[in-house]
Amino acid sequence: MSGHVALVTGGGGGIGAAVCARLAADGYRVAVVDRDAEAAARVAGECAGLAIACDVTSDVAVKAAVDEATTWGGRLDLVVLNAGSTGGQSGVDDLDVPAYRRVMGVNVDHVVFGTTAALPALRRDGGGTVIATSSLAGLTGMPGDAIYTLSKHAVVGYVRSVAASLADEPVRVMAVCPGFTDTALIAGFRDRFGDFPLLVAADVADAVTAMLARGASGECWFVQPGREPGPFRFRGVPGPAEAGAPPRLHGED
């Protein structure tokens, strides 16, 4: 992919840093976006990329980051919207509103801001790909952390809907949905997992590479230890059964 340009949010560590390294090895020029300027600079230095400090909860800051990356690279081919935040609250009795706003800002708003900001460049340069990091919690409920689960379900719904809206354009929009991954996001409760198998950041980078090679727009790929990553097969929504009902919608049983 020599000459192609990628932007990765949350690129200063964990999954984001692993994705940056993999993309650079595959020939991409990588813009590393992170709220931690020093972390972004470190990873950018390792992959000969561009470091951009950015608060991804700001639509203005995200657009500026996309514009800076596009100007630097001369084009934009791939956007990996990976920045994320854990919830850490049930969302019922212990609702911390500022924390709730922060999680939704990072996990949901930034995916919307990043996609809308990147589309003009992706369209102009002949098409490209957006991959948002969701989670296995975006495919199933995760008791005890309803706010995080809410945010990751939102990413899955957004990706599937946007992909349908862009079906006639050369832009793919997908989500990667890893299970528990041994990164700084779980550092505070890592000991709770015991011998439970965890992914490492490189596993998710492998999945992103596979998605770029053979993923279809609208797909949400699961990533679990010991399993080959692949698109999650959503069950179709039941359609009406009444006589004279209108034709079934796409995705309905």
User: Is 148 annotated in the active site?
Assistant: yes
CA distance 162 to 71: 25
**CB 85, CB 101: distance < 8 Å:** no
Catalytic: which of 28, 100, 148, 158?
A: 148
Ramachandran angles phi, psi of 39, nearest 5°: -65, -45
Pairing of strands 220-223, 230-231: antiparallel
CA distance 176 to 220: 6
CA distance 114 to 40: 17
Identity of the residue numbered 72: W
To which residue do tokens 């630097």 refer?
A: 72
Q: CA distances (Å), 32 to each of 96, 113, 160, in order?
A: 31, 17, 26
Q: Helix/strand/coil (H, E, C) string of 31-82?
A: EEEECCHHHHHHHHHHCCCEEEECCCCCHHHHHHHHHHHHHHHCCCCEEEEC
Residues belonging to the active site:
148
